[in-house]
Amino acid sequence: MTHPSLTQDELKTLVGQAALRYVVPGEIVGVGTGSTVNKFIDALATIKDQIKGAVSSSEASTARLQALGIPVFDSNEVEQLAVYIDGADEIDGQGHMVKGGGAALTREKIVAAQSRLFVCIADESKLVEQLGRFPLPVEVIPMAAQRIARQFAAMGGSATLRLKDGAPLVTDNGQHILDVTGLRIADPLAFEAQVNNWPGVVTVGVFAFQKAGVCLLGTRDGVKTLE
């Protein structure tokens, strides 16, 4: 059934609710960050008595989970999670993503790495042929920011320091974010490995090593499952 009038916000609600079927009863679930994940957290609250709790990828998600009465565990307390549910700024047909629009990419990658399955929830605007349309977030150690910006320039990119209220945005980890435009990421695995090797890079927002195993894509024809 087609719903041409659904807004982007309503598509996010649909996929947030659809993700509940991947939550394993009695277990701890990995929870991402962002407006789509907020819909998932709201849905998770309706089954909170059926789960043990969550491992969270940001202070913002932790606050929302706790406000809804969902226990939050430190990632070090949990060896492995069955599932990690998070949004994306871009996703391609193979499950590679660009993430970090909400500046939570480092903790997102950590929780994704300790999870057996990454379920990406996104509205249809996030699906791309090739990564590189959305400015690529890169969390950096502040003293390395300018050198890293020059390394991106040598690749044809243009890096801008992300600001908040006129000052450099400071992440949950006390670092800065560069947003890089003008990149064409034809080989996400090779790109992620390359940028990871630059001194001062904390996390690059390409998720190829921690790619999605499933994507629940909110479309006006309903939720499509890409595997």
Residue 87 marked ligand-binding: yes
Distance of CA 97 to the CA centre of its chain: 8
Residues 89-108 that bind ligand 5RP (CB under 6 A): 89, 99-105, 108
**Whole-number minimum distance, CB 123 to ligand 5RP, in Å?**
8
Residue 74 marked ligand-binding: no
Q: Report if residue 30 touches ligand 5RP, rule: CB under 6 A.
A: no
How far is Cα 87 from Cα 107, in angstroms, rounded to an integer?
A: 13
Nearer to ligand 5RP, 10 or 52 (CB): 10
The packing angle between helices 8-18 and 35-45, to 10°, is 50
Nearer to ligand 5RP, 57 or 157 (CB): 57
User: Is 90 an annotated catalytic residue?
Assistant: no
Residues 53-92 that bind ligand 5RP (CB under 6 A): 86-89
Q: Considering 27, 77, 79, 108, which one is annotated as catalytic?
A: 108
Residues 6 or more apart whose CB falls under 8 angstroms from that of 112 comprise: 30, 84, 86, 118, 207, 210
**Whole-number minimum distance, CB 89 to ligand 5RP, in Å?**
5
Which pair of structure tokens corresponds to residue 160? Answer: 């801008």
**Whole-number minimum distance, CB 116 to ligand 5RP, in Å?**
19
Pick from 169, 177, 167, 19: which is nearest to 83 by CA?
19
Pick from 96, 44, 123: which is nearest to 213 by CA?
96
Active site residues: 108
Q: Which residues bind ligand 5RP (CB under 6 A)?
A: 32-36, 86-89, 99-105, 108
